[in-house]
Amino acid sequence: MEEREGFIVSLGCRKCGRCENVCPNGALYRVNGFANVDHEKCDLCMKCVKICPNKALVYME
C-alpha cells in the first residue's frame, strides 16, 4: 500500500453543492448538505479542492 503525504478535509462547507459528483473515485459525499471526504477512496486528485468556491475543501499535510 502506498503511503500518502496528506489528505483533504472539509472546513466551513456552505452547502453550495458545486462539488457534487466531481470526484472520480466517489470519495466525496454529503451529510445534511455538508461535504465530507472518505479518505480510503481519495487519491488526492484535488478536483474537489479546485472547484470549491468557498475554499472549504482543503489539502492538509
Q: How far apart are CA 17 and CA 38, in angstroms?
A: 17
| pLDDT for the residue 5 | 84
The residue whose grid cell reads 470519495 is 27
CB-count exposure of residue 45 (10 Å: 0-12, 13-18, 19+): middle
Query: Considering the entire predicted model, what is its pTM?
Result: 0.86
pLDDT at 1: 45
Domain 7-60, classified CATH 3.30.1360.120, yes or no: no
Domain ranges of the chain: 7-60
pLDDT in tens, 1-55: 456 689 999 999 999 999 999 999 999 999 999 999 999 999 999 999 999 999 9
